[in-house]
Amino acid sequence: MSAPIRRPAVAVMAKAPGVTVVKSRLHPALGAVMATRLYECFLRDRLDALSAVECIERMIEHLTARGARVLFNSNAISLSPARAVDLIASGLDELRVSLDATTVETYARTRGADAFPKVVANLERLSEAKRERGATNPRVSLWFTVMKDNIEEIPELVPLAARVGAAGIYLQRLVYNGLGLATAEQSLHARLGGRETELIRVTREAAAAAHLDFSASGATAP
């Protein structure tokens, strides 16, 4: 028998801030918390820069033409109308949007930018551009790091996903080790209460009714 054909993939590999120790050489000067926050800013800037790089559509076309499945994460702040059209034409398979909120106030608090309305408008334009062209890609998914500070907002992810044309909702729990924003006070890892469990259940059922993919990273797993 011949070996199965495997499609190559492209990924950005990095340490997860707050999950593993990062920028340890800066700890004596800045402290572990500030060094971790600085690293997180560096990482987000790098990912945003990658998604906004000139001619990235040509890179995507090059990869998809060779059978690669191409996806990337973005905050969608720089997703202009022209960029949306170019991404559709490029053959990008999936755009994963880091959101962490469904309100203006929580977005500004958790993401550090007053950009929630802009992100939503950008995704709506992408959805409209896909409809106009009869395109199914890029698949859009919403990624939400759940903390005590924002868990009450997860049921609103379902109507938000429908509004912006997203196909899936993915909840990720914050696993804490005391560094950066990964604090015991914010984390729900392995200690979901009745209220949190109910919110996830309600959101899961609403997502199923809306024909959306949904994942909550397991009930107690990180």
> pLDDT, tens digit, for every residue of 158-167?
999 999 999 9
Strand order in the sheet with 168-173: 71-74, 94-98, 139-146, 168-173, 213-215
The β-bridge partners of 172 are 145
Q: What's the pLDDT score for residue 20? A: 58
Kindly state the tokens that stand for 200.
């996830």
| Residue 83 dihedral angles phi and psi, to the nearest 5° | -65, -35
Alpha-carbon separation of residue 46 from 23, 40, 129, 141, 222 (angstroms): 16, 10, 27, 20, 25
Domain ranges of the chain: 55-215
pTM, 2 dp: 0.70
Q: What's the pLDDT score for residue 122? A: 96
> pLDDT, tens digit, for every residue of 94-109?
999 988 899 999 998 8
Mean pLDDT across the stretch 169-180? Answer: 66
- Which of 73-77, 144-148, 159-163, 171-175 is the least confident region? 171-175
Mean pLDDT across the stretch 53-72? Answer: 77
Alpha-carbon separation of residue 116 from 72, 76, 177, 186 (angstroms): 20, 10, 29, 22
CATH architecture for the domain at 55-215: Alpha-Beta Barrel (3.20)
Q: By percentage, how much of the chain surpasses pLDDT 90?
A: 36
